[in-house]
Structure 1
Amino acid sequence: MKKLDKTGQSGPFYQLDKRRRKAVRLLFEDELTDEQIAKAVQRRRSTLDNWKNDELFKAAQQQYNHLVVKRSFESKALKKLVDLLDAKSEMVQLQSANSILKLSGMLSDNSTPELDKARIRKANADARVAEARAKAMEDNGADVEDLVSTLIGAIGKEDKRESK
């Protein structure tokens, strides 16, 4: 379960204490040296270095970068893609449409309508093969049971002969 901070935010960035979050923000802005950042969060440079090597801190940096880029540029980028739907070049229009569909989750990176149809046909064929195998196992299962019973009977007769 994700840890929520007091404002209801979740993720690695919000799992950090205030000083570490401030360090992440300052590192993202990339205007101060590590020495200046350490001083700003009232820690030694070596402490900041340790933080930068911590997996949670690294994940927090990635999350913060994503949040800032999303907040600052997502709507502008989407608006630009929508504008490109009316471009003169059909290739630009197609790429813009694909990008919008990918962002919406309606199209994967390696998806085309033809490929999606082929995947559906393959899934249906695999289901039919699995069903045929299951039926064959059911049909053969009776034969196997008969064979096992025969073998057990034969072994039992053999054991009786040897015990005489």
Structure 2
Amino acid sequence: MAHKKIATLTTFYSLSKKQQKAIMLLFSGTFTQAKVAKEVGVHPTTLSHWKEWDDFRKAQDEYNHFMLHDITSEAIIAMRNLLHARSEMVRFNAAKDILDRSITGLEDAQRRKTVADAKIAESKLADLEDDKDDQMDALTDMLSKLAKNVPKDDQNDD
């Protein structure tokens, strides 16, 4: 389990202990940004700057994903149970939430597929360009060899 955790939290563990603690406190949702900064021992402006860094945001995403992964199945079961609630409004909201999330999941999958298709197309184009360059090099070599084999008398016949 520890190896899996480290593998999924590589960016998170590359940050300082203060930055890691800030991410954990931000995830909890119980503290204001000023309180998180005080708990970590930095100025609120420093925390704001951290939140703008790509690595900090990536580490937050890693940590959030890791923490939410374990409770997702429980949340799904709770939402499914709400589909049988007495209140029509609760049933409606549970059904709407489940459908909204499933559509978002499909859109994410479609977006990932489109990006993958684009990368494949770029790779194929690069391969074609490499082949074209290789063919031009081979043709140039062949012409160079032919030019060397032409008798000198034939070269001046223009």
Higher share of residues assigned helix: 2
TM-score normalized by the length of structure 2: 0.47
Point out the structure with max Rg over C-alpha: 1
Larger RCO (alpha carbons 8 Å, 6+ apart): 2
